[in-house]
Amino acid sequence: MRVTIFGTGYVGLVTGTCLADVGHDVVCVDIDEGKVAALQRGEIPIFEPGLAPMVRSNHAAGRLDFTTDAAAAIARGEVIFIAVGTPPGEDGSADLQYVLAVARTIGRHLDRPGIVVNKSTVPVGTADRVRETIAGELQARGVDVTFGVASNPEFLKEGDAVNDFMRPDRIVIGASDAHVIERLKRLYAPFNRNHERIVVMDVRSAELTKYAANAMLATKISFMNEMANIAERVGADIEMVRQGIGSDPRIGWHFIYPGAGYGGSCFPKDVQALARTAQQVGYRAELLQAVEGVNERQKHHLFELIRRHYDGDIAGRTFAVWGLAFKPNTDDMREASSRVLLQQLWDAGARVRAYDPEARRETQRIFGERDDLVLCDSANAALVDADALVVVTEWKQFRSPDFARLRATLSDAVLFDGRNIYHPDEVEAAGIAYYGIGRGRSV
């Protein structure tokens, strides 16, 4: 099928590439000329494991192209995806300006029947607004073509996005028109071969499903952080508690890791946007507000441990920071806990030597040049002249450090483990003071 995708970010680029990989004929549109030019040269603007070779091979095979020419892309697409950003607006609700701008563009250029599929995460009711926007533009042009609007939220996770798209747990299609449902089932048929993964529902339910999924995952994290904070105060170890509850299949092992708070481009904004949607229909979403509140507090927790250890005397000290991305296997730093920590350390007069395997460029873009930040080329380089080590992102390569070397390098021999990736006994046996999240011994 001929597919047009608006947006070449994490979602649009992965969607376009994976659809091309199973044989569809895909063109991706973006307003960012630099991004489109880079993609045409085979340069991938984001880090996502496995994505770069797939983009290049499908581009070379002529199944995947990139353009800024929206009119031409709309003219050729049977199915047109909207996969642009929906950042938080000032009041926490999703900012739909980019989605609606694409809808206007579609309305201005659509000349024959088509299917518009919204993949961006959008509040319930947005499909209706997209439909009205397109219809308004068509009417203004005096053009009479039929078009369908569907919701098809995306559940991929950054860091494993290609795998998630190629082997989805489920594919949610929100639509009421039988023709639209049939076409989208055909589009996704290559991903639905072994057993039924497609869940068809009404548009509003599909829109809410995406928020419900993210809110549930965020809730699990905040719940565990709440437990960790209690554990810390009562002398219990949350890692033991985690093992004690995760084995219950009703609870499960996923997303019950305490840490320095969740970040990224989705959970924070989606929890907020859902709470805002609830408010707009006269419902106070108390649980969602608490999930967000606990997470905000948690992002300050690492600094609080540092402050307590040094009795507030932080000015002039140097901290090695391992991990800046909001999670491993991505370069994405949107809402990353590291940003809060770095700012707090700087505000307290400390210096930072940081290392992240992928987020160096992004860190530079966000913070620019500053005297109190040195971006290092390796984890070991970050330790040089540092007083203490803070682990913020649990990249695999940080999991088995040489503790004797850490002991010898860090002036104060202290480690703040923001993701509980080390065993306190092992660290302490090496002569290093250990602070984790929710580990009772750290009170």
Contact residues for ligand NAD (CB under 6 A)?
6-12, 29-32, 35, 83-86, 98, 101-102, 120-121, 154, 156-158, 265-266
Beta partners for residue 200, in sequence order: 173
CB closer to ligand NAD, 168 vs 424: 168
CA distance 325 to 354: 11
What is the closest distance, in whole angstroms, from the C-beta atom of residue 217 to ligand NAD in the complex?
12
- Rounded to whole angstroms, the maximal C-alpha distance in the chain is 77
Dihedral sign for Cα atoms in the order 346, 352, 355, 360: positive
Reading the block at residue 164, the tokens are 């998630």
Name the active-site residue from 18, 28, 266, 376. Answer: 266
Residue 67 or 380: which CB sits closer to ligand NAD?
A: 67
Minimum CB separation of residue 73 from ligand NAD in Å reads 9
Per the CB < 8 A criterion, the answer to whether 15 and 64 are in contact is no
Number of helices and strands in the chain (H, E): 18, 14
For tokens 């984790």, name the residue.
436
Whichever of 187 and 410 has its CB closer to ligand NAD, that residue is 187
Q: Measured between alpha carbons, how far is 430 from 409 in angstroms, rounded to an integer? A: 12
Which residue reads 């209690």 in tokens? 230
DSSP for 35-52, please give it. Answer: HHHHHHTT--SS--TTHH
Nearer to ligand NAD, 71 or 384 (CB): 71
**DSSP sequence for 82-114:** E-----B-TTSSB--HHHHHHHHHHHHH--S-E
Cα(186)–Cα(166) distance, integer angstroms? 15
User: Nearest residue by C-beta to ligand NAD?
Assistant: 9
State the nearest-atom distance from the C-beta of 176 to ligand NAD, in Å: 22
- Residue 354 CA to residue 364 CA, distance in Å, equals 11
- Shortest reach from residue 325's CB to ligand NAD, in Å: 13
Q: Select 21 or 417, whichever has its Cβ closest to ligand NAD.
A: 21
How near is the Cβ of 94 to ligand NAD at its closest, in Å? 7
Contact 242, 313 (CB under 8 A): no
Strands 414-417 and 373-375, by their bridges, are unpaired
What are the helix (H) ranges across 264-359?
267-280, 286-298, 301-309, 337-347
C-alpha 99 chain-centroid distance:
19
Terminus-to-terminus CA distance in the chain, angstroms? Answer: 60
Nearer to ligand NAD, 33 or 371 (CB): 33
Active site residue 266: yes
- Find the shortest distance in angstroms from Cβ 292 to ligand NAD: 16
CB atoms within 10 A of CB 296: 12
Measured from the CB atom, the residue of 333 and 410 that comes closer to ligand NAD is: 333
Beta carbon of residue 151, minimum distance to ligand NAD (angstroms, whole number): 12
- Which of the residues are catalytic? 266
